Structure 1
Amino acid sequence: MKRQSMKDCNEFVAAFEKVIKKPKRQESKIYYTGIDLGTACVVLAVLDENRKPVAGAYRYADVVRDGMVVDYIGAVELVRELKEELEQTLKTELVYAAASLPPGTDELDGGAIKNVVQSAGFELTNLLDEPTAANQLLNITDGAVVDIGGGTTGISIVENGHVVKVADEATGGTHLSLVIAGAYKFPFEAAETYKRNGKNHEELLPTLKPVIEKISSIIIQQTQGYNVEGIYLVGGTACLKNIETIIEKATGIPTYKPTNPMFVTPLGIAISCTDKVLT
């Protein structure tokens, strides 16, 4: 990745973080919403007509597991609540939305994601896999975009600006939390909370290293036969401090991550949103 691309990505994410706390109430002919239905967290990102962040909201939830919707009613209600919350803040109706799903799960769960978005009151305009969505913001022309979510790790290999392979494996943040729960004798929810606190990351890293190395082995396996010059980490689990260092050492491939990888995918989804409704 060019240094300027990473700088642009970080600035875009920083602008989004600001509008989560203080939304921009301004006139816009159209708003584009990105919906990221994650295993651990549901994020809505709203861009204006110039594709600039104006508002956002997120909530930790348990409506998706391993990339699959397991609580359909809960997912619809949560997305609808976040939609209404943002609409009240912006004093406008949010009509168009794009969404994403783990690579390779379109036939299994694409319909469920589509129905959740539409049942929550949006018109769905795009549905793409998570790492490809993230690359809408990263703008990688060559390399592997690795989205480490709660339940799965999704990989998108890009060559000359084109996605040549997508893959998904069932290892992610949930597995890290299970290891923490076992090692610390915590209930699972307590382990999740403990993991999210950045102050605990250095202490946790030795305990979590075997799972991170498992994620690294998935990356090695899925990138075999491709000339991958860089790995670019996104997703909530990539927020773990120094995870990129372990992955780089295990894979032997330079590994990078934005300042807050949790918001790259939902922002990429929002960037991919249009006003042309999917049929």
Structure 2
Amino acid sequence: MSEKKLTFEYCDRLVKEFEEVIKRPINKKSSTYYCGVDLGTACIVLAVMDEDYNPVAGAFKYADVVKDGMVVDYIGAVKIVRELKNELEEKLNAELIYAAAAIPPGTDALDSGAIKNVVQAAGFELTSLLDEPTAANEVLHIKNGAVVDIGGGTTGISILKDGKVIYVADEPTGGTHFSLVLSGAYGMTFNEADKFKRNNEKHKEILPVLKPVVEKVSSIINHHIEGYDVKEISLVGGTCCLTGIEEIIEKQTGIYTHKPRNPMFVTPLGIALSCTKEIMD
């Protein structure tokens, strides 16, 4: 079996385990718990791992407290993260202390403080703050390629060489733009379109409508990987749940493009894997 296939099997297995513990948390005592907080534009995800970094619980909530990767409703963000924390503490019958978080690449000077404050105000001790595509690669294990995180507001790109990040970028265009296009095409409100695109049964119908936006994302990818030896692309982020998005991107870039089992959960799992018991200053 190829190394690439083994890598993707690890990613998909971890995501599958996480999907299962969201429904049925593993209430088995652990000496400590490591949490990953993913403050997405469309969805906030909390992933919990045990002392051996195995998924034991998870929860998520769709919200609009973040816009284009920036916290726009601080109080609302704190409230949701605290609610998710309390919910999982009750299910695990344990206190969740340590958490890591992530930000879109290149935005650390702009919003890292806000995200750090949200996580701490929700009752966590923050142990790590890294960029989203780099966090995702904790699960993907890409050696020479690009991790493309298509979120609600932006597309983040990390290029890796020999397993090390050598370039990061973040540009507007994401799920919000998908919803705007669907809103115009179907005469829906933005919120209606946002929910409509999450219905997997509608993906075949809406893919042609959204193809120009996916091609725009592809052009962003092409721009940032130019001049780098990118052998593969892995897609993460909730927007990548759109069925067929990987085929359009692969055609536009000419590079093998992989989409995990559930791209929405890759980054929060990677964030949790980056969590330690060493509290940040």
Query: Fold-level match, TM-score > 0.5?
Result: yes
> 1:93-242 maps to which residues of 2 (within 5 A)?
93-242=95-244
The aligned counterpart of 1:255 is: 257
SS in 2 for 1:226: coil
Displacement over 3 Å in runs of 4+: none
- 2:1 pairs with 1:2: no
Instruction: Report SS of the residue matched to 1:259.
Output: coil
Does 2:59 align with 1:57?
yes
The Cα of 1:210 is off from its aligned counterpart by 0.3
> Match of 1:181, SS?
helix
Amino acid at match of 1:72: Y
From 2, 25, 49, give the equivalent of 2:27: 25
CA distance in 1, matches of 2:256, 2:94: 44
Structure 1 unpaired stretches of 5+: none
Q: Distance in 1 between matches of 2:167 and 2:180?
A: 30
Q: Give 3-state SS (helix, strand or coil) of 2:37's partner.
A: strand
**1:68 is matched with which residue: 67, 70, 78?**
70
TM-score normalized with structure 1 length: 0.99
**Aligned residue type for 1:204:** I
- For 1:49 and 1:216, the matched residues in 2 are separated by 39
Q: 2: distance between equivalents of 1:96 and 1:210?
A: 42
Helix, strand or coil at the partner of 1:46: strand
Q: 1:102-143 deviations in whole A, cap 9, x for unaligned?
A: 001101000000000000000000000000000000011110
| Stretches of structure 2 lacking an aligned partner (at least 5 in a row) | none
Whole-Å Cα distance in 2 between the matches of residues 107 and 227 of structure 1?
A: 28
Q: How many angstroms does 1:259 deviate by?
A: 1.1
| Corresponding residue SS for 1:244 | helix
- Matches of 2:218 and 2:235, distance apart in 1: 11
Question: How far apart are the structure 1 equivalents of 2:17 and 2:229?
Answer: 33
Question: Secondary structure of the residue that 1:225 maps to in structure 2?
Answer: coil
The code of the aligned residue for 1:137 comes to V
Which TM-score applies when normalising by structure 2?
0.99
Q: SS of 1:208's equivalent?
A: helix
